[in-house]
Amino acid sequence: MAIALDSNNDMFADNGAIRRVVGGAQVVQHVRSRLLTYYGEWFLDTTAGVPYFEEVFIKPANLANVESLIKQTILQTEGVATLDSFELIFESNTRKLEVIFSATTDDGTAINSTVNLNI
């Protein structure tokens, strides 16, 4: 069980009570949080996060490498058993990277999510 986060990654309260997420929703939220964390950003674990500055925000970007990094981040997330489908959409004029994936959790739950990254 984890504290529920809204689309801005802020704690979500419902009628003054902090909401919680469990199961597949918790795994989706964890994947999303990991994809939105920059490598070295979290002071308690500077090895956490995706190496955006080191591997993604370079010119020219190697989209095959970016795809590999993001897939690896999803697969290494606690609770993810398999990555069933994956799509990476890059819009160069807006520098928007959209990650669309489906996965199966350790308990067999199918999860789907879209994560938008502005790079």
pLDDT digits (tens, 9 = 90+) for 18-69: 888 899 999 999 999 999 999 999 899 999 999 988 988 888 878 899 999 9
Structural domain containing residue 112: 24-118
Q: How many residues does the chain have?
A: 119
Judge if pTM exceeds 0.85.
yes
Question: Does residue 30 sit within a domain?
Answer: yes
CATH number of the CATH domain containing 68: 3.10.450.40
Q: Would you state the structure tokens that stand for residue 60, as one six-digit string?
A: 């020219």
Question: Does residue 13 sit within a domain?
Answer: no
Quickly list DSSP for 20-54.
Answer: EE-HHHHHHHHHHHHHTPBTT--TT-TT-SB-III
Question: Does residue 19 sit within a domain?
Answer: no
Lowest-confidence range among 81-85, 89-93, 112-116? 89-93
What total number of domains does the chain contain?
A: 1
